Structures are given as structure tokens and as C-alpha cells.
Homo-oligomer: A and B are copies of this chain.
Amino acid sequence: MYGEIITIGDELTAGRTVDLNAWYAAGKIASSGLGITRVTSVGDNAEMVSEALKRACLSSRFVIVTGGLGSTRDDITSEIVARAFNRPLSANLEMLDKIRCFVKKRGMEITSSIEKMANLPDGATLIHPKGAVCGYSLVEKDVHLYFLPGVPDQMRYLMDTFVLPDILSLCHSVPVMKHRVLKIYGLNEPIIAEKLKCLEKNTGKAVLGFYPHFPENHITITLHGEDASVVSEKLDRIETEITGILGDYVFATENLEMEDVVAEKLTEKGTTIGLAESCTGGLICDRLTNVAGSSHYFQGGIVCYSNRSKEDLLAVRKETLARYGAVSPETAREMAKGVRACMKTDLGVAVTGIAGPDGGSKEKPVGTVHIGLSSENDLFTQQYRFRGSRTQVKLNATMMALDWVRRYIDGHSIIPGI
């Protein structure tokens, strides 16, 4: 069963806002085994919105619409729906009650622009009438239309809790579509494509997709079928084949991020870690602490941006900095050892480099990064040269440092191929 998504707002067509609502809704629909054929974004323009709504109704079973339900002047979705489908607006009393309640609770005053939000097209059914946040649905000539607010949290909540179950209830039999994502770090797309060429002939009806997600590359495997367990089994087989070819460059499947994988491994082994970050500026610590429960293994980090902080906090020797510079294997080594000592952890990981755009030289161009890892028995450093903007260099260095931890705990060689 197929549907469409329409997102409304000048902020979208003017490129001021990234369309995360379309992305979210499409992802939810796809992972339920249904399909989205088209996503249309139009500005707060009655004619364009009306055209998009009517066109979507011609070829889809369901349409998810977001945006334009708020209280400001540019929120015109309901008026357009009323005209497009000849369904006059009138005050929905349930909605009016909700709005009044909400406003009162927050100690705000009710205004005509807020009350306007309760004017809904004829035949509209409130979605989540008991909640603080709501949208509405309509059935227009057998097409189910869902109108949701554009505020991402509200939209997501209503999508997950009400819209998706409602759409699935329209299916006669729940279709089987399974999808898997393999995340790869350290191999570029042409190399991946070449390595997997032999595979493409053997995957039958599975659709393989290749997607760069800087600095990662993702491979998706999509498979349709009638029997869930047969589809799962085939998917497993293809996944095993791919990981067999790409080896430990595949760092995660599905929604896991590199930091989730690292967190899992650290927790499993009971290994603690401390970070010394220079050019990454705290990003590695930030990523690690995005994982709930990180306090079990993460003691802390030192963002040692200045040379003085490297000396004072990590006991990097003045002579090392003077002789080799802050961006050098020697400094990376002392930082890794220093942070391990001061945090009293099993592992100490250090990153020092030149994120740019300034600060590069002929010998040490922008993007030069040294990573160091210290444990009771080992001490590694390695130089990298990352390309791209300041934030891209930070991101790549962060991924590489986390990947080192993943590989070290797994007992693999840290630098692939060496």
C-alpha cells in the first residue's frame, strides 16, 4: 500500500529548515512495510498546497500532511483543505476545549489567533483528542488524509501513536518488507561497490542501496515477501555475506551509532575510558555521553585546547611540545598516557590535530590528526590526513578515535591492513 507526504511551510521551500518531518514519516512508513511514492514540499501558498493535496488524492491510499496548523498568520492549512475539498470550516468544540485548557494551564491568555486553531474542515476527526497536542484526519473519496502539526516532537508523537497504527489498519494483510542497514567506516563508496559486485548477482529480489553518510557509508538491504521468517532468513544470509566480504569495516547495523557500539563493548568488558581531546574539542566526549548509562565506563575527558592545558592537566612535557609540536605522535602519546593516568581508567585515548581552516603548514597541513591510545599493555599512535571543513575534520577524527576503541576491545588490529 502506497501513500504520499506533503510538508507545508515557506521555511522549507526557502531552505531555512531541513525537512525532518518528511524524513521521519517516510522512515516510519517504510519500516512498517509500506511505501511512500512521493514527498512534496510547498510554501504557505494556497494554490500550491491545494494542488499538492488534490494530486496526492489521485494516486495514494493515504496522505500525511504536516505544517500550517499553528496560531500564526501563515498557518493556513485548514482553510486550504476546506476550499480544496469543499468542506466548510467550523469550530470543533472538543478542540476548543483542549486549547482553552492548555492556555489556562500555562497561565496564558486566550486570543482569537489561538482560538482559530479550533476551526476544522467539515468531517475532520481529531487525532488524540485527549492529549495536549493534536492533529486531525479526513477521509476524502477513500483516501485517508492525516494533518499533523509541523513541530517535530508533536508530529513524531502523533505519527507513532495514532497515524501509523491507523494506516496499518487499512491494510488487508500486513505486508512483509524487511530492511536492514549496514554501517561502514574506513572504506569509500567505489571500493565498497567493487568489493560487493560479485554479490549483486546472488541477492535475488533483494534491493541493495549505497549511501554516503559522511564520514560513514551505509548499505541498505530491502526485501519483500509473503512469509516473515523466510524474508528474515534471506536477509540474514545476505547480511552475513556482506559482512564476510567487508569484514570489520562494518561497525554497526540498523540505528546504532558508532558511540552505541563502543558503549556496548566497553560496558560488556567492564573497561573504563578517559579522553584527551585537542582538535576534536569535546566532540568525542559529547558523542560518548549521548548514550544513556555512559557513566558506567566514561570517567571523563580533558579538552586540552591550549598547550598550557596539555602540560598542566595531562603532564605532556614542555620539551615534547617545543621539540615536536602539539600535533605530533609524541604529543598524542603523552596525552593518551596522561589522560589514562589522571582519569585512572583502563584506556586513555587522545586526539591532536589541525582542524583548520587556519593553522596548517607545508609539513602539517590542515586535516593532519594524530590519534593515540594507551592501555596497561599497549601504546599506539597513528597519523591521519582528513579532508574537508573544520567540522568535517572534527567529525572524521572523532569517528576514527571511536573506531580505534571498538577495534581495540575486539582485539583487531587498530589500523586496518597494518
Q: List the interface of chain A (C-beta within 8 A of B).
A: 9-20, 22-31, 35-43, 45, 48, 52, 70-74, 106, 108-109, 111, 113-114, 151-153, 179, 181, 189-191, 193-194, 197, 200, 207-214, 218, 220, 222, 275, 277, 279-286, 288-290, 292-295, 298-306, 308-309, 312-313, 342-344, 355-358, 388, 390-391, 394
Contacts and interface: CB of A to CB of B under 8 A. Distances in A.
28 contacts: A10-B207, A11-B220, A14-B35, A14-B36, A15-B22, A15-B23, A15-B26, A15-B30, A16-B181, A16-B211, A16-B218, A16-B220, A18-B18, A18-B20, A37-B42, A37-B45, A71-B193, A108-B190, A111-B194, A281-B286, A285-B305, A290-B391, A290-B394, A292-B356, A299-B306, A299-B308, A300-B303, A300-B306
Given A26-B14, A38-B13, A108-B194, A285 B299 contact: no
A26 B16 CA distance: 8
Copies of this chain present in the complex amount to 2
A286 B286 contact: yes
A375 to B, nearest CB: 19
Given A113-B193, A281-B286, A13 B42 contact: no
A151 B212 contact: yes
A235 B146 CA distance: 37
A300 B31 CA distance: 43
B286 A283 contact: yes
Nearest to A28: B15
A16 B29 CA distance: 11
Instruction: State the majority secondary structure of interface residues on A.
Output: mixed
A302 B25 CA distance: 39
A73 B301 contact: no
Given A282-B282, A286-B282, A14 B39 contact: no
A188 to B, nearest CB: 9
B14 A18 contact: no
Kindly name the residue among A27, A212, A300 whose own CB sees the greatest number of chain B CB atoms within 10 A.
A300
Contacts of A313: 300, 302, 313, 342
B10 A26 contact: no
A286 B106 CA distance: 34
Given A281-B285, A282-B289, A11 B211 contact: yes
B41 A13 contact: no
Nearest to A304: B300
Given A302-B303, A303-B301, A305-B300, A37 B18 contact: no
A303 B275 contact: yes
Contact of A292 (B26, B282, B344, B358): B358
Contact of A25 (B15, B28, B29): B15
A411 B28 CA distance: 47
Given A38-B40, A279-B289, A313-B313, 9 more contacts: A12-B39, A15-B27, A18-B20, A19-B19, A22-B41, A152-B214, A299-B309, A301-B305, A312-B342
